[in-house]
A = this chain, B = another copy of it.
Amino acid sequence: MQEVRAVVYGVGAMGSIVTRLLLEKGVKIVGAVGRSPEKVGKDLGEVAGLDRHIGVEVVDDHNKAFEGGADIAIVCVSSYLKAMHDHFAICLEHGTNVVTIEEETVYPWSTSPELANELDHLAKANGVTLAASGAQDVFWLYLVSTLLGAAHKVDEVSGRCMWNVDDYGPEVASHLRIGDQVEDFERHVREFGWPEFVARQTLEALVSELGLSISAIDSSVEPVSSQKPIFCRSLDRTIPPGHLIGTVDTTKVRTAEGPRFSFSMEGRVYTVDQTDMNEWHVTGEPNLHLRNDRASYHFTTCTSVVNRIPDVINAAPGLVSLDQLGKPNYRHQIQN
């Protein structure tokens, strides 16, 4: 077993958590890529809020970050494959495997087939793997798929989860249009549509992992408002009654073989008594049920991506969607 050498690519909130986890798991960090002027030039230990320097400078020149050679880059920058394409390409061209928290890469084949195929070819040409993980890996894909190992006949698989908008900062809160009047939100969705996100890719990955074929897929969004004012930490203001405090994103899938799937993700500003949860019901023979309280999606997105490092290093070259990566595993230490 050998030490794994990693580049931390993106040193925001998630990259900072990932940095600590990597060090505690015995991974050698050999480079760090950042962009913001107040981080570039500083030691990654300082930027990540550790109490020590670790001898790795945050640089904005990727050639410098990769110059020592790395087994893997952990990429935590932004969402959507379109925004992330060039970042992934840089890592792959350096001959470095990539594991990312970017959600579309979980299963990009139907929402961004051209970008996905291009990156698949680029990864293969460089003999390395690009894959994504995050909370969906354990909670919405492989726990559900494993539960279905106890099913004889599946009529419907129905999941719902709840995540805290305030865990992800002002960018995500604005993206969800938190604080909008509900009528304004609904008008916006009618006029401009609403991006399919996470729920769609997760269900597509699940259906693929089960060996079934999608015959119809449909996504929708519903506004969530409160009858009481709720303080939104990430926007630092109180959202009045009747204004948007969150959304429920739902994707429904029909399969050629018969089983139906639906998954609803409620992202909202939490009241004090709410925690991240995950609940799935299977209707069939027998009926099955699974629930996770305290799923800590923000943190388990970081733990999941770090635990995936050996799988990604050892996977076949190419863009490997999460359904093809096999079950996630606990790693007491990370070596290869």
Chain A residues in the interface with B (C-beta under 8 A): 21, 24-25, 135, 137-139, 142-143, 145-154, 210-212, 257-259, 286-296, 299-300, 302-304, 306-307, 326-330, 332
Q: List chain B residues, Cβ under 8 A from A135.
A: 150
Contact between A288 and B299, CB atoms less than 8 A apart: no
Closest to A143 in B: B146
Q: How far is the CA of A153 from the CA of B329 in the complex (A)?
A: 12
Nearest chain B CB to A10 CB, angstrom units: 19
Q: How far is the CA of A210 from the CA of B329 in the complex (A)?
A: 7
Contact between B150 and A24, CB atoms less than 8 A apart: no
Closest to A212 in B: B332
Closest to A138 in B: B150
Name the residue in A259, A292, A299 with the highest tally of chain B Cβ atoms < 10 Å from its Cβ.
A292
Contact between B288 and A149, CB atoms less than 8 A apart: no
Q: Which of B25, B142, B151 contacts A149 (CB 8 A)?
A: B142
Nearest chain B CB to A300 CB, angstrom units: 4
Contact between B289 and A150, CB atoms less than 8 A apart: no
Q: List chain B residues, Cβ under 8 A from A137.
A: 149-150
Contact between B288 and A291, CB atoms less than 8 A apart: no
Contact between A300 and B286, CB atoms less than 8 A apart: yes
Q: Which of B143, B150, B288, B303 contacts A290 (CB 8 A)?
A: B143
Q: Which of B259, B287, B289, B326 contacts A326 (CB 8 A)?
A: B326
Copies of chain A in the complex: 2
Q: How far is the CA of A259 from the CA of B332 in the complex (A)?
A: 9
Nearest chain B CB to A106 CB, angstrom units: 15
A137-B149, A142-B146, A143-B290 given; 6 more Cβ-contact pairs under 8 Å: A24-B153, A143-B146, A149-B330, A288-B292, A288-B300, A289-B292
Q: How far is the CA of A247 from the CA of B53 in the complex (A)?
A: 55
Q: List chain B residues, Cβ under 8 A from A289.
A: 292-294
Q: List chain B residues, Cβ under 8 A from A25.
A: 152
Contact between A332 and B150, CB atoms less than 8 A apart: no
Contact between A211 and B332, CB atoms less than 8 A apart: yes
Q: How far is the CA of A332 from the CA of B157 in the complex (A)?
A: 14
Q: Which of B142, B287, B293, B299 contacts A294 (CB 8 A)?
A: B287
Nearest chain B CB to A96 CB, angstrom units: 23
| Complex A-B: 8 CB contacts under 8 Å | A24-B153, A138-B149, A142-B146, A150-B303, A210-B330, A258-B332, A288-B300, A289-B293
Contact between B286 and A149, CB atoms less than 8 A apart: no
Closest to A17 in B: B152
Contact between B138 and A143, CB atoms less than 8 A apart: no
Contact between B21 and A149, CB atoms less than 8 A apart: no
Q: How far is the CA of A331 from the CA of B303 in the complex (A)?
A: 30
Q: List chain B residues, Cβ under 8 A from A287.
A: 294, 296
Q: How far is the CA of A148 from the CA of B293 in the complex (A)?
A: 14
Q: How far is the CA of A149 from the CA of B332 in the complex (A)?
A: 10
Q: List chain B residues, Cβ under 8 A from A153.
A: 24
Q: List chain B residues, Cβ under 8 A from A327.
A: 142, 145-146, 149, 326-327
Contact between A143 and B145, CB atoms less than 8 A apart: no
